[in-house]
Amino acid sequence: MALPLAYYLTWTTYGTWLPGDRRGWVSKHDAAYITPIKEPDPATEEAAREKMRSIPVRFDREKRRMVDAAIRGVCEHKGWILHQLEVRSNHLHVIVSPGDVAPGRVMASLKAYASKVLNQRFSPDKPSRWWTEDGSTRWLFDESSVVAARKYVLTQDVSWLKHLE
């Protein structure tokens, strides 16, 4: 399989979008190139909530700016092309071209650097975890897919998602 032009990565802050969530969710056990979104499952959501080790994490404006700057810095330092970045209160979207680096390594690097910046600023009043363990990855093989992913991130108009399948 050819390398993608870019990856569209999304992940959530700790405890804000649990398995079983009413907004839909993706099981880490069903991970695939395009993973189907599962229907709400209150029992699964409650079981996930009971396993939580700390309170859910939501970012205020300051934390959002810090995460944004950290991710931009990582991309610049590593020579990765950052097409789009949107840091929200409970999740973020990154569209990045990292060359031949695997998407899991890209996501891990971005999370690690952002966590480091947050930990330095908010220690000792930091949560036990900033992020969920997993995230979502879509491989974007052409420029039209990158454009569609960017439009979705900017508008949250789900009609753009059909261009990514």
Report the CATH number at residue 61.
Answer: 3.30.70.1290
Range of the domain at 125: 6-16+55-164
Residue for token digits 């031949």? 100
Asked if pLDDT for residue 14 goes beyond 70, the answer is yes
pLDDT (mean) for 103-108: 96
Does 134 reside within a domain? yes
User: Are 86 and 12 spatial neighbours (Cβ–Cβ below 8 Å)?
Assistant: no
Does 148 reside within a domain? yes
Digit-coded pLDDT (tens) for 42-96: 888 788 788 888 889 999 999 999 999 999 999 999 999 999 999 999 999 999 9
Does 28 reside within a domain? no
Does 100 reside within a domain? yes
Residues 111-115: contacts with CB under 8 Å, at least 24 apart: 111/11, 113/70, 113/71, 113/73, 113/74, 114/66, 114/67, 114/70, 114/71
Number of independent structural domains in the chain: 1
Between CA 3 and CA 66 the distance in angstroms is: 31
Closest CA to 18 of 55, 45, 53, 57: 45
- Please report the pLDDT score of residue 2 as a whole number: 81
Does 26 reside within a domain? no
Does 24 reside within a domain? no
- Please report the pLDDT score of residue 16 as a whole number: 87
Digit-coded pLDDT (tens) for 116-143: 999 999 987 888 899 988 888 999 999 9
Does 27 reside within a domain? no
